[in-house]
């Protein structure tokens, strides 16, 4: 009776959610632990967005909607793509889903079979390989370490593509590294894609509005209009608008993919929550100036965290261009011994040591496919971050 499906057997529970749960447990036990594992902004959903949701409830927007998004939200998303990215879409090219994770899940599961390959640059967002595995397809990783700014090169991409490649995933700015591609870098990747006409590209732009590079944010569909019939541009409300709990993600691209995603969704979740969709309309069409304020606050934290982690013996922390994560390289700590005599053989060991010894919870690089490293989320207050980084510095210094 307890047999589970083969598809489920191919996936693991999310490592970031697991660490966040572990922190919650410790806190409930009264342990003074600092959690730097959660992938969500510490800011609140803006009041005008909350008000729109309340008005939607009062106004009776409490029934089923179109499966893949209300006309109002699709219009707001189309306007967003025009405003921010210079992209033009029709409603039939837009899919609204229950969070960005669901968007990616729908797209992969609707288009991949056993034997298909999906190219994933590492370090990668934890869910990509699992979603691909769930679909029965095979993830193909490209390692992009700190020495190359956590970004893949066109040569690496070209070498990873085979006749079986179905999708290439590009996530800029990246979770976990925060690395973002410049227009020239994306164009060079687009040049490779152009040479492989059987390949689809998913660009996960979830962190578009948390961006500090000295070049502007750009996305592949905008830079390579000739490839638009093979690009699915993914985005959502979770990170930019601090709406992680509302569960609204979306994608725009070829209508055959959007239609397939809607078919899958019609037999699983049906429409995303009607109230959350109304809130998302407000988020996307309302005042956008708070985005810059929040970005500025994140930037101050990034600078502090990068400086403090680089001052920790054995860590080397590149300066990310976006998102709210840093991904320090921990090569300098592997092989060292803790004060209680444990050897740090892997980044998993290091994360356990940080948790036990320093009471700081980060996520091991192993979860993101590029070791030895770890991810720190700086979506928390400056004071807490300073305390956490001091603890990490002391823990690193105590290794022999
Ligand atoms: N893509 C990336 C790179 C992410 O980091 C996340 C969230 O952590 C998502 C997509 C999915 O976001 P959500 O499902 O919360 O909208």
Tell me, what's the ipTM?
A: 0.99
With CA atoms as reference, report the closest residue to 373 among 114, 99, 176: 176
Closest C-alpha residue for ligand 1 atom 8 = 39
Q: What is the pLDDT of residues 306-317, one digit of tens each?
A: 999 999 999 999
In short, whether 322's Cβ falls inside 6 Å of ligand 1 is: no
Instruction: Write out the residue range of the structural domain in which residue 155 sits.
Output: 47-285
**In ligand 1, which atom is closest to the CA atom of 174?**
3
Residue 367 within any structural domain of the chain: yes
- Rounded to the nearest angstrom, the distance between the alpha carbon of 337 and the centre of ligand 1 is 35
Residue 1 within any structural domain of the chain: no
In short, whether 238's Cβ falls inside 6 Å of ligand 1 is: yes
Kindly report the number of other CB atoms within 10 A of residue 194's CB atom: 13
In short, whether 173's Cβ falls inside 6 Å of ligand 1 is: no
Q: Pick from 285, 300, 325: which residue ends a domain?
A: 285
Same domain for 107 and 234, yes or no, is yes
Same domain for 317 and 185, yes or no, is no
Same domain for 56 and 199, yes or no, is yes
**Whether the predicted pLDDT of 204 surpasses 90:** yes
Mean pLDDT of 14-18: 81
Mean pLDDT of 8-33: 89
Same domain for 22 and 57, yes or no, is no
- Rounded to the nearest angstrom, the distance between the alpha carbon of 249 and the centre of ligand 1 is 8
Same domain for 188 and 164, yes or no, is yes
pLDDT of 21: 86
Which CATH number do you get for residue 319? 3.90.1150.10
In short, whether 171's Cβ falls inside 6 Å of ligand 1 is: yes
In short, whether 175's Cβ falls inside 6 Å of ligand 1 is: yes
Q: What is the pLDDT of residues 255-269, one digit of tens each?
A: 999 999 999 999 999
Same domain for 27 and 89, yes or no, is no
The answer to whether the beta carbons of residues 314 and 61 sit under 8 Å apart is no
With CA atoms as reference, report the closest residue to 243 among 100, 93, 44: 44
**Whether the predicted pLDDT of 101 surpasses 90:** yes
Residue 207, sorted as left (phi over 0), alpha (psi -120 to 50) or beta, turns out to be: alpha
Kindly report the number of other CB atoms within 10 A of residue 116's CB atom: 17
Q: Pick from 260, 285, 310: which residue ends a domain?
A: 285
Per-residue pLDDT band for 14 (boundaries 50, 70, 90) equals confident
Same domain for 195 and 297, yes or no, is no
Same domain for 177 and 238, yes or no, is yes
- Rounded to the nearest angstrom, the distance between the alpha carbon of 203 and the centre of ligand 1 is 12
- Rounded to the nearest angstrom, the distance between the alpha carbon of 2 and the centre of ligand 1 is 31
Same domain for 236 and 318, yes or no, is no
In short, whether 237's Cβ falls inside 6 Å of ligand 1 is: no
């Amino acid at each position: 009776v307890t047999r589970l499906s083969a598809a489920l057997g191919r996936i693991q529970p999310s490592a970031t959610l697991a660490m966040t749960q572990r922190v919650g447990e410790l806190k409930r036990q009264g342990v003074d632990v600092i959690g730097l594992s959660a992938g969500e902004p510490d800011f609140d959903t803006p009041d005008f967005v909350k008000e729109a949701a309340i008005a939607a409830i009062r106004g009776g927007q409490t029934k089923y909607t179109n499966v893949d998004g209300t006309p109002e939200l699709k219009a707001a998303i189309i306007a967003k793509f025009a405003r921010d990215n210079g992209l033009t879409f029709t409603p039939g090219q837009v899919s609204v889903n229950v969070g960005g994770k669901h968007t990616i899940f729908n797209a992969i599961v609707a288009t991949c079979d056993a034997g298909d390959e999906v190219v994933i640059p590492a370090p990668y967002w934890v869910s990509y390989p699992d979603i691909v595995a769930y679909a029965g397809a095979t993830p193909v990783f490209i390692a992009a370490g700190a020495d190359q700014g956590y970004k893949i090169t066109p040569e690496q991409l070209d070498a990873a593509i085979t006749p079986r490649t179905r999708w290439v995933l590009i996530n800029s700015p990246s979770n976990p590294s925060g690395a973002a591609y410049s227009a020239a870098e994306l164009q060079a990747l687009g040049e490779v894609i152009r040479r492989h006409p059987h390949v689809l590209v998913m660009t996960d732009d979830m962190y578009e509005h948390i961006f500090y590079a000295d070049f502007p944010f750009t996305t592949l569909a905008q830079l390579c209009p000739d490839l638009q019939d093979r690009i699915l541009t993914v985005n959502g409300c979770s990170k930019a608008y601090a709406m992680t709990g509302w569960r609204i993600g979306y994608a725009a691209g070829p209508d055959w993919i959007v239609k397939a995603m809607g078919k899958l969704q019609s037999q699983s979740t049906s429409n995303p929550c009607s109230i959350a969709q109304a809130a998302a309309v407000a988020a996307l069409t309302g005042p956008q100036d708070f985005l810059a304020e929040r970005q500025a606050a994140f930037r101050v934290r990034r600078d502090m965290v990068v400086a403090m982690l680089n001052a920790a013996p054995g860590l080397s922390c590149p300066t990310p261009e976006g998102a709210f994560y840093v991904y320090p390289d921990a090569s300098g700590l592997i092989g060292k011994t803790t004060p209680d005599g444990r050897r740090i053989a892997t980044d998993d060991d290091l994360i356990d040591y940080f948790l036990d010894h320093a009471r700081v919870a980060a996520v091991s690089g192993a979860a993101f496919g590029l070791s030895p490293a770890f991810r720190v989320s700086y979506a928390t207050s400056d004071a807490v971050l300073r305390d956490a980084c001091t603890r990490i510095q002391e823990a690193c210094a105590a290794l022999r």
